[in-house]
Amino acid sequence: MADPDPTSPSPAPHKRRKRYAGKNPRKFADKYKEHDPERYAGDVAKVIASGKTPAGSHRPIMVTEILAALALQPGETVVDCTLGYGGHTREMLAKIAPKGRLIGLDVDPIEQPKTIARLRAAGFGEDAFTAVRSNFAGLPKVLAELGLTGADAILADLGISSMQLDDPTRGFTFKHDGPLDLRLNPTREPTAASWLARVREADLAAALADNADEPKAELIARELVAKRSITPFTRTQQLAEALREILRLPPPGRGVETDDSPLRRVFQALRIAVNDEFGVLDLFLRHLPSCLQSGGRVAILTFHSGEDRRVKQAFKAGLRDGVYSSVSEDVIRARGEELRANPRSSSAKLRWAVRA
Ligand SMILES: C[S@@+](CC[C@H](N)C(=O)[O-])C[C@H]1O[C@@H](n2cnc3c(N)ncnc32)[C@H](O)[C@@H]1O
């Protein structure tokens, strides 16, 4: 038998897929088809058709309504303050082509490089798309460093992406065990674990009430502070179990339909506190008029009352002071098919404003 030709490329090594129990993978890391949508398009389409978001991706919310509010024109300069998976960015890039430019900000050093790679692979070069790792509270500095005096349109789609939420190693979900982290930018302190270890009981109760409208904020704060002195909270499911005990909720997976909303609210409150989300939103809203050209449009998508209240008040004050020439009168909500197809759209609220 002839020796194999050393110059011919060797066949790609066969990779065994990970083994998992049951028909479909349940763990985030095992959902290998969903993590590779280009290769497994059919399987990913089935996941979407079932009303779920494929692992490792994010479906943009209220795209039609946002594009209507921003009224983008070819050649315009746009800022996507919350790049995420790049879903809104792609839609906006299509509207501003040819010769348009989009600046995409995100604080997440884990997901942002993947999104940049996807957008570059889709053909968006540096002339059309510039990615910046920055908090949107620093938008004036980002624009100044790029030599821009203002944008024609700005979008902020607040909160976290499905990729962040679904990845147990980021600690955003109580549904899987992971470190109690909840940082959008894991290079910045504190983690949720260290925040929860130090926070005073009264401040914890205030965070639960203000960040998530938690009706049992005082009880939960008192009990968590008592429990942490015995064992510090370091894992998501450890905290979830403690909350179930405090609120006398049945443990999950016993065939009983459990109401997880109190757990969701506590995790939301921690996330908002750890990332100072209200502080950066207030700063962003204050700087916003100076970041828009005259006639420039802004659209902001919020996911809970604390965020929406801030946006509503800032736009209303801006209209009164003549900073904005018009603002959305009512909040705009997702409708019909989108609500069915993407349950995450049900809490979304959209508001827009036009710079005078
Ligand atoms: C809801 S997702 C955006 C999804 C995106 N619109 C899409 O279509 O894929 C929110 C993103 O904003 C980022 N983010 C949240 N707060 C931020 C802030 N203050 N500054 C910059 N990025 C932020 C998060 O890391 C996350 O990637």
pLDDT tens per residue, range 279-328: 999 999 999 999 999 999 999 999 999 999 999 999 999 999 999 999 99
Query: For a substitution probing ligand 1, which of 83, 136, 142, 301 has the most ligand atoms within 8 Å of its CB?
Result: 83
What local confidence, expressed as pLDDT, does residue 252 receive?
A: 81
Q: Which atom of ligand 1 is nearest to the CA of 87?
A: 8
How does pLDDT run across 192-223, given as a tens digit for each residue?
999 999 999 999 999 999 999 999 999 999 99
Q: How many whole angstroms separate alpha carbon 29 and alpha carbon 25? A: 9
Nearest CA owner, ligand 1 atom 3: 84
Residue 106: partners with Cβ closer than 8 Å, 6 or more residues away: 82, 83, 84, 112, 115, 131, 133, 134
What local confidence, expressed as pLDDT, does residue 258 receive?
A: 76
Instruction: Please tell me if the CB atom of residue 345 comes closer than 6 angstroms to any atom of ligand 1.
Output: no
Q: How many whole angstroms separate alpha carbon 100 and alpha carbon 289? A: 21
**Identity of residue 275:** N
> Could you read off the pLDDT tens digit of each residue along the chain, which spans 356 residues?
333 343 344 444 555 555 556 666 666 666 555 566 666 666 665 565 566 566 778 899 999 999 999 999 999 999 999 999 999 999 999 999 999 999 999 999 999 999 999 999 999 999 999 999 999 999 999 999 999 999 999 999 999 999 999 999 999 999 999 999 999 999 999 999 999 999 999 999 999 999 999 999 999 999 999 999 999 999 999 999 999 999 999 888 766 677 899 999 999 999 999 999 999 999 999 999 999 999 999 999 999 999 999 999 999 999 999 999 999 999 999 999 999 999 899 999 999 999 99
Query: For a substitution probing ligand 1, which of 57, 78, 93, 106 has the most ligand atoms within 8 Å of its CB?
Result: 106
Q: Which residues pair with 349 in a beta bridge?
A: 302, 333
What local confidence, expressed as pLDDT, does residue 58 receive?
A: 86
Cα of first residue to Cα of last residue in the chain, in angstroms, is 80
The phi-psi region of residue 51 (left if phi > 0; otherwise alpha if psi is between -120 and 50; otherwise beta) is left
Query: 316: CA distance to ligand 1 center in Å?
Result: 24
What pTM does this model have?
0.87
Query: 158: CA distance to ligand 1 center in Å?
Result: 6
How does pLDDT run across 247-265, given as a tens digit for each residue?
999 888 766 677 899 999 9
Nearest CA owner, ligand 1 atom 10: 160
Q: Which atom of ligand 1 is nearest to the CA of 60?
A: 8
Nearest CA owner, ligand 1 atom 14: 82
